[in-house]
Amino acid sequence: MERRFALIEAAVSCGSPTRGSEGAYDALTGAGLPALFGGASLMPMEKLVPCATWPEGLRHLDTVMEVCRRLRANVLTALERGERPVIVGGDHSCAMGSLAALGEHYGAGELAVVYVDAHTDINTDRTSRSGYIHGMDLAAACGLCCEELDVGTNRVDLLGEDLHIIGARSIDPPEYGIVRQVGAHLYTAQDVLERGVEAVLAQVLPALEGKRVHISFDVDVLDPSAFLATGYNIPGGLSTAQVERILGAVLDTGRTCSFECVEYDPTKDPDGRDLDALMDIFRTVSERWR
């Protein structure tokens, strides 16, 4: 059966402290991303002006949630058309919209998430010190946040045991406790670098058995020596080869239902070097997604 894809924009950056990632979809589609996915259907999104006021502890709440609601609707449309969603952010707050749609379509208990990121993004609205929602999306998906962060008609209530975070190296103290509380699996960048990618995959891949798998890839998992065009350049990250091996191995299971890439900032990439590197990663995704 011919694979059909939908390239879906999540035009938000105000869930994070930096601007620019809302332009990632335009940069990637302009560089030829639709052709990599067999002439995928395009689902762009209006770029909203960030709201000027917000409740304490939830920066730019109205704008973030409007983007997530629109994204949820677009992902559901793609799924109903039999297309595989390829979501391009934007900052990682958009994952609330992605996961809301996937949980609604497949059932939260049927969904596993492979979250490849320099951060764990599992602060709640009560534990976050910054108030930026891109650090709360997994907690919201696990049903741990206030109702203001619910997308759609119901909470997602993702099972923590089905959450696999790989490559994290910037983790707030409260997040360690939340990871333990929900039973999520955390493989830090240090784990990957010291134990090796294959040892981590040997634990992750069997746990995906029988699940629909959503891959959420944040470019800041990459070491700054490999990739700079993002709001966070944190030493001690993964190489491009390591990331491609992780993504490829998960895709090779044949269980992946959706793929998400976030936090690429084309304004920090004047010569297009990181755009080329990211297109190479997308090429791996398109070739290995069975």
- The catalytic position among 137, 162, 175, 220 is 220
Is 119 a known active-site residue? yes
> From the centroid of its chain, how far is CA 206?
21
- The catalytic position among 263, 265, 269, 274 is 263
- The catalytic position among 91, 125, 218, 244 is 218
Is 263 a known active-site residue? yes
Angle value at C-alpha 136, between 131 and 140, nearest 5 degrees: 130
- The catalytic position among 9, 22, 92, 244 is 92
Is 191 a known active-site residue? no
Which DSSP string corresponds to 140-196?
HHTT-S-GGG--SSS-----GGGEEEEEE-B--HHHHHHHHHHT-EEEEHHHHHHH-
- The catalytic position among 119, 164, 185, 214 is 119
Q: Rounded distance, CA 262 to CA 227, Å?
A: 13
- The catalytic position among 83, 117, 191, 269 is 117
- The catalytic position among 121, 125, 162, 223 is 121
Distances in whole angstroms, Cα of residue 87 to Cα of each of 23, 75, 154:
13, 8, 21
Is 117 a known active-site residue? yes
Is 134 a known active-site residue? yes
Local structure of 5: helix, strand or coil:
strand
Residues annotated as catalytic (active site), given as ranges: 92, 117, 119, 121, 134, 218, 220, 263
